[in-house]
Structure 1
Amino acid sequence: MKMETIEILCCPVCRGDLVLTSFKAVETEEGTTDIITGVLRCDACGINYPIAEGIPNLLPQEKKTDQ
């Protein structure tokens, strides 16, 4: 995922801004930064979204119920 992509992403639950909180990135030959792994965190609701192999997983987590 390109670092610039973060600017256009938002939280799918509340539409809040996402912030990259921890990550592993590489510099490309073109001089851009590619994020390989990391975590996007919503500033508004606090939900974390993982980034794996350069792909952000923006699917909301299912609510866990006690059974």
Structure 2
Amino acid sequence: MKRSLMEILACPMCKNYPLKLHVFEEKEEVVSGILECSSCQRWYPIIDEIPHMLPDEMRDRKEDLTFLERWRNKTPSHILEKGKPYSLQSG
């Protein structure tokens, strides 16, 4: 994901802007990370340079939980514990 997208991306659920970027892996672009909405506490994974910004009803629970497990050591604890729509505590 190009960092310049941060200037236009908003939360698809509550429309909050700007989002917070947590970078886990970066080359020329952000390869892996999380976009976080400070308003509604939702998080959106960046996978293979693509931000997956889907509304809750279209998200894949298993995929999201696998992502959190993979990046557990780099994901902020508040997302792991209370992130929406899924967290490692809520499953």
TM beyond 0.5: yes
| CA positional deviation for 1:26 | 1.1
| CA positional deviation for 1:11 | 0.2
Which moves more between the two structures, 15-24 or 42-51?
A: 15-24
Count of matched residue pairs: 58
Structure number with larger C-alpha Rg: 1
Residue 35 (1) aligns with residue 30 (2): yes
Q: Deviations over 1:3-51 (max 9, x none)?
A: 1111110000111121112421113xxxxxx100100000111100000
AA matched with 1:7: E
- Picking from 60, 64, 67, the partner of 2:55 is 60
Per residue, is there more helix in 1 or in 2?
A: 2
Residue 16 (1) aligns with residue 11 (2): no
Contact 2:45 2:52 in 1 (8 A): yes
The 1-side partners of 2:35 and 2:5 are apart by 12
Which moves more between the two structures, 14-23 or 38-47?
A: 14-23
Structure with greater contact order relative to length (CA < 8 Å, sep ≥ 6): 1
| CA positional deviation for 1:60 | 1.6
Per residue, is there more strand in 1 or in 2?
A: 1
TM-score, normalised to structure 2, is 0.57
RMSD: 1.8
Which consecutive residues of structure 2, in runs of 5 or more, have no partner in the other structure?
Answer: 58-84, 87-91
Q: Percent identity?
A: 41
